Amino acid sequence: MSLEAQYDPDNIFAKIIRGDIPSVKLFETDAVLAFMDVFPQSEGHCLVIHKQATATNLFDVDADVLATLMAAVQKLARAVRDGLSPDGIRIAQFNGAPAGQTVYHLHFHIIPVYEGRALGAHASGGPADAESLEKVAAKIRAAL
């Protein structure tokens, strides 16, 4: 998918927003949704998306929407920090398939990093089971 790709209203995150497929939610407002990444690279890997913006990547989005999104990223990153006590936190966002993007609805990754534990591969491997995601999500939610 190129940097100029058209937004597909049936992408997997659009389906999550509509409730067509399940997700482990962390918080939701009229504008944003935060939820657990189902192929986590580390314990607590989660995602933030805008619910109305039909942006595939960073280049498509209005600055005011981006500001709302980034405020949510900061809020969630603080909760990950306080709820899970990682040694570091990586914030990531990929634009275009060659850069590693696999879902074409603009999103930010919050990836906790724990010393001595290698990060898993990006968007691969088996999905985490809902029960273990829910346990980690509860710790993050409690810190929001």
State the catalytic residues: 107
Minimum CB distance to ligand AMP smaller for 113 or for 123: 123
Candidate list 5, 12, 84, 130; residue touching ligand AMP; CB under 6 A: 12
Radius of gyration over every alpha carbon of the chain, rounded to an integer in angstroms: 14
Cα–Cα–Cα angle for 88, 91, 11, nearest 5°? 140
Q: Does 132 bind ligand AMP (CB under 6 A)?
A: no
Q: What's the min distance (Å) between Cβ of 52 and ligand AMP?
A: 19
Q: Does 103 bind ligand AMP (CB under 6 A)?
A: yes
Q: Does 23 bind ligand AMP (CB under 6 A)?
A: yes
Q: Does 100 bind ligand AMP (CB under 6 A)?
A: yes
Phi-psi region of 125 (alpha: psi -120 to 50; beta: other; left: phi over 0): left
Name the residue with tokens 């100029």: 4
Minimum CB distance to ligand AMP smaller for 56 or for 68: 56
Q: Does 43 bind ligand AMP (CB under 6 A)?
A: no
What Cα–Cα distance (Å) separates residue 117 from each residue in 64, 96, 104, 112, 127?
37, 28, 29, 11, 19
Closest CA to 65 of 109, 101, 7, 106: 106
Q: What's the min distance (Å) between Cβ of 23 and ligand AMP?
A: 5
Q: Which residues bind ligand AMP (CB under 6 A)?
A: 12, 23, 37-39, 94, 100-103, 123
